[in-house]
A and B are shown apart, each in its own frame.
Chain A
Amino acid sequence: MTKLVVVTGASRGLGLAICRQLLSAGYQVVALARTQSPELSALAARHATALSFVAADLSDLEAIAPLCTELVKQHGRPYALINNAAVGYDGVLATMHNSEINTLLNLNIQAPILLCKYLLRPMLLNQSGRIVNISSIIARTGFNGLSVYAASKAALEGFSKSLAREVGKAGITVNCVAPGYMQTDMTNSLQGEKLESIKRRSPLGRLATPDDAAGAVLYLLSEQASAVTGTTITVDAGSTA
Chain B
Amino acid sequence: MNIEQQIKDSLSQVALLANCQLIADINNDTVLLQSGLDSLGFAMLVAQLEEDLGIDPFSQMQIAVYPRTFGEFVGIYQQALKG
Contacts and interface: CB of A to CB of B under 8 A. Distances in A.
Interface of A: 65, 69, 72, 120-122, 124-125, 127, 166-167, 169-170
Nearest to B14: A125
Count chain A CB atoms within 10 A of each CB in B14, B43, B48 and give the residue with the most.
B43
Contact of B40 (A69, A72, A170): A170
Contacts of B46: 121
Given A65-B59, A69-B56, A166-B40, 12 more contacts: A65-B56, A69-B50, A121-B43, A121-B47, A121-B50, A122-B47, A122-B51, A124-B47, A125-B44, A125-B48, A170-B18, A170-B40
A122 B47 CA distance: 7
B38 to A, nearest CB: 9
A65 B18 CA distance: 24
Contacts of B51: 72, 122, 125
Majority secondary structure, A binding face: helix
A144 to B, nearest CB: 39
Contacts of A121: 43-44, 46-47, 50
A72 B51 CA distance: 9
A84 B51 CA distance: 26
Interface in B50-70: 50-51, 56, 59
The 6 closest A-B pairs by CB, nearest first: A121-B47, A124-B44, A65-B59, A125-B47, A124-B47, A124-B43
Contacts of A169: 40
Contacts of A65: 56, 59
A121 to B, nearest CB: 3
Contacts of B59: 65
Contacts of B1: none
